[in-house]
Chains A and B, each alone.
Chain A
Amino acid sequence: MENKTLLVDNQMSELRRLADFLDDLGEEWELNPGLVFSLNLVLEEALTNIILYGFQDTDKHSIEMEFSRTQIDQLVVSVIDDGHPYDPTQKEDPDLSLPAEERPVGGLGIFLIKKIMDKVEYHRNNNKNFLILTKNIKS
């Protein structure tokens, strides 16, 4: 089992640092570029939600992303924040059958997380949100 942790502030500019971190992680763990793309997308969606909607105050908050690769070829990312309780797994999926004119603008982020990852779990512990994202990387 290998572990890596990235701590970011609740600021959009941190997305740049996330992308750089994932590029480095991809090289170090020899992840294929498609997986790095997927991880970047999923974590951008999770972080953006937390940064935009997670906090009622204007204080600086730290959001932790813990990456681990298990021996059964799973990549697990835990996203941990101290914002107000929010379980994204409960969000309703968008209606993909609607024509462009009727498709609502936005609301795709959490759906993409659910579709791209193999498992998405949520729990609340010690006043923190834990979003556990698992991707099978068996090649």
Chain B
Amino acid sequence: MNVKITTLPDYTLLIIEGRVDTTNAAGLEKTMMEAIDGGCTRIVLDCTGLNYISSSGLRVFLVIQKKMISIKGHFNLCNLQPGIKEIFDISGFSSIFSLFADKEAAIIG
């Protein structure tokens, strides 16, 4: 897994690539929490390159979503691959996350 963080004037862009599983989910949580603690209230997570997620990864996404709701921030995900979207649907995550078809929509949304 690779996460690239770019801080822009209006939002923080996170580009995630590879696999999020039990072995690396804690690292992802730490990285994202540090970004939030650093003051970012608007996260756009580009999932174009995310090709695998297990419940450990879903857990991290939920933790981040709860955190963003508590600080009245925004956590917008975009470009989910079909396999990832299916897991979101099964888990009921599609209705508790803001999912966008592309990055441009996620930035505005």
B residues 21-47 with Cβ under 8 Å of A? Answer: 21-23
**Known contacts A12-B22, A16-B23; A105/B63 CB under 8 A:** yes
Question: Is A112 interfacial (CB 8 A cutoff)?
Answer: yes
Q: Which B residues touch A127, using CB under 8 A? A: none
In the complex, which residues of chain A have a beta carbon less than 8 angstroms from the beta carbon of B53?
41
A33 and B65 alpha carbons, distance in the complex (Å): 29
Interface pair B69/A100, CB less than 8 Å apart? yes
Q: Assess the B96–A112 pair: CB atoms within 8 A.
A: no
Q: Which chain B positions have C-beta within 8 A of A116?
A: 90
B15 within 8 A of A: no
Find out whether the CB atom of B91 lies under 8 angstroms from the CB atom of A105. no
Q: How far is the CA of A112 from the CA of B90 in the complex (A)?
A: 7
- Given A15-B21, A112-B91, A99-B96 contact (CB < 8 Å): yes
Q: Is A45 an interface residue (CB 8 A)?
A: yes
- Indicate if the CB atoms of B55 and A45 lie closer than 8 Å: yes
B103 at the interface (CB under 8 A from A): no
Instruction: Pick from B21, B59, B83, B92: contact of A44, CB below 8 A.
Output: B21
Q: What is the interface residue range for chain A against chain B?
A: 20 to 34
**Interface pair A41/B87, CB less than 8 Å apart:** yes
Which B residues are CB-close (under 8 A) to A99? 96
Question: Total A-B pairs in contact (CB under 8 Å)?
Answer: 69
- Asked if residues B65 and A100 are in contact (CB atoms below 8 Å), the reply is yes
Indicate if the CB atoms of A44 and B66 lie closer than 8 Å. Answer: no
- Chain A residues with Cβ below 8 Å from B66 are 100-101, 103, 105
Selected contact of A106 from candidates B51, B59, B87, B96, CB within 8 Å? B59
| Chain B residues numbered 61-105 whose CB sits less than 8 Å from any CB in chain A | 62-63, 65-66, 69-70, 82-83, 87, 90-92, 96-97
- CB-defined interface of A56-68 with B at 8 Å, one 1/0 digit per residue? 0000000000000
Residues of A near any B CB (own CB < 8 A): 12-13, 15-16, 19, 33-34, 37-38, 40-41, 44-45, 48, 94, 96-97, 99-101, 103, 105-106, 108-109, 111-112, 115-116
Q: A-B pairs with the 4 shortest C-beta distances? A: A96-B92, A100-B96, A109-B55, A108-B55
* 30 A–B contacts from the bound complex (CB under 8 Å): A12-B22, A12-B23, A13-B23, A15-B22, A15-B23, A33-B83, A37-B52, A38-B83, A40-B54, A41-B54, A41-B87, A45-B54, A48-B22, A48-B54, A96-B91, A96-B92, A97-B92, A99-B96, A100-B62, A100-B69, A100-B96, A105-B62, A108-B58, A108-B59, A109-B54, A112-B54, A112-B87, A112-B90, A115-B90, A116-B90
